Amino acid sequence: MRHVYECPVRWADLDLLGHVNNVTYVDYLQEARIDMLLTHAPDSRATDLAEGVVVVRHDVSYLRPLTFRSEPVKIDSWVSEIRAATFTMAYEVYDETPEGRVVYLRATSVLTPFVFAEERPRRISAAEKETLSRFLEDSPLPPVGATTPARHNEISRYPLRVRFSDVDVYGHVNNVKYFEFFQEARIAYMSRIWDGVSEGSSKVPMVLAQMNVDYRTPILFRPDAYDIHSWVSHVGNSSFVVESEIRDPLAGDRDAGGTLLSRARVVMVTFDPTTQRAAPAPEAYRELLRRELSRAS
């Protein structure tokens, strides 16, 4: 059984291309998930699963741009897997048109019930499993590609300072904010790479095709900066992959860059703004990406 949520599209949700920003979509998914579990679940047993969970992983596939309009966009949400201590939510963001369903995004979120007073995960109860089972359907996404070993160097490092407004009532950085953090670091990283493009070269529009985020250890508010490291791990004809990780340089193995807090993998696509379709980047840009791909750690 799928739950349908109607989500308003706000003007503030748009990026410079006039598309709903990739970070904002994750906010939409969070709204749909809470609406399903807290408001429209078959009974009250899902309340703890709406308010007392942490996100373990997000997998998001961006299929086509969503632009501003007055009517809300629809979001289907359902459960695609239930395990002893985690469950996976699945989503589809779409419009129903006379020609059929137009899908903008498909995604999944792995969540675990969490005892915040004791800072530990817990198992799913039998009653909760029964409630979740009523929403059970197949996953909308194929398996995700493998990640590569991390690479740290000065061009890839971005100091992350957490704002007080980034944390939730439990003192943890909200899961949506991680997408924003990785976006900030990726923009800074790509700007440094593009410094090698000759003056007068035309800019290349880029969009996200896919983003996968693993949440390892909660990020907390503090005055000291965390580190985000990014690296190019694949270069194709009209796409490339950027992987990133957030580390706490003040904890764990200093030689490894500190404790690993989160990891992300992003597929970027260069496209033609006229046709709104994928298109190869100019050779000058692809050469810089290949050079970064071969950079030693």
pLDDT in tens, 94-116: 999 999 999 999 999 999 999 98
- pLDDT per residue as tens digits for the range 113-155: 999 888 899 999 998 998 899 999 999 998 877 889 999 988 8
Residue type, 15: D
Is there a contact between 12 and 100 (Cβ–Cβ < 8 Å)? no
Within 10 angstroms of residue 206's Cβ, the number of other Cβ atoms is 17
Q: State mean pLDDT over 30-42.
A: 83
Q: In Å, how far are 121, 171, 254, 271 from 248, measured between CA atoms?
A: 21, 16, 9, 35
pLDDT at 124: 94
pLDDT interval class at 200 (50, 70, 90): low
pLDDT at 137: 95
Long-range CB pairs of 16-21, under 8 A, 24+ apart, other chains included: 17/65, 17/205, 17/207, 17/273, 18/65, 18/67, 18/68, 19/65, 19/66, 19/67, 19/207, 20/65, 20/66, 20/67, 20/68, 20/104
Does the structure show a pLDDT above 70 at 43? no
How distant, in Å, are the alpha carbons of 161, 216, 254, 258 from that of 251?
16, 14, 7, 5
Average pLDDT, the chain: 91
C-alpha dist (Å) from residue 268 to 180, 204, 271, 272: 16, 12, 10, 13
Indicate the pLDDT class of residue 39, thresholds 50, 70 and 90: confident
pLDDT in tens, 52-82: 889 999 999 999 999 999 999 999 999 999 9
Question: What is the four-CA torsion angle of 19, 21, 22, 26, rounded to 10 degrees?
Answer: -120
pTM across the whole model: 0.92
Summarised one tens digit per residue, pLDDT across range 154-187 is: 889 999 999 999 998 888 999 999 999 999 999 9
| CA distances for 289 relative to 161, 214, 232, 236, 281, angstroms | 27, 25, 7, 10, 10
Give 201's pLDDT tier (boundaries 50, 70, 90). low
**Which amino acid makes up residue 208?**
L
The domains of the chain, with CATH numbers, are 1-143 (3.10.129.10), 146-297 (3.10.129.10)
* C-alpha dihedral (14, 269, 257, 122), degrees to nearest 10: 70
Mean pLDDT of 249-259: 91
87-91, 126-130, 267-271 — most confident range: 87-91
Rounded (10°) CA dihedral 127, 132, 138, 142:
-100
Residue 41 pLDDT > 80: no
Euclidean distance between CA atoms 295 and 91, whole angstroms: 37
Q: Is the pLDDT of residue 198 over 70?
A: yes
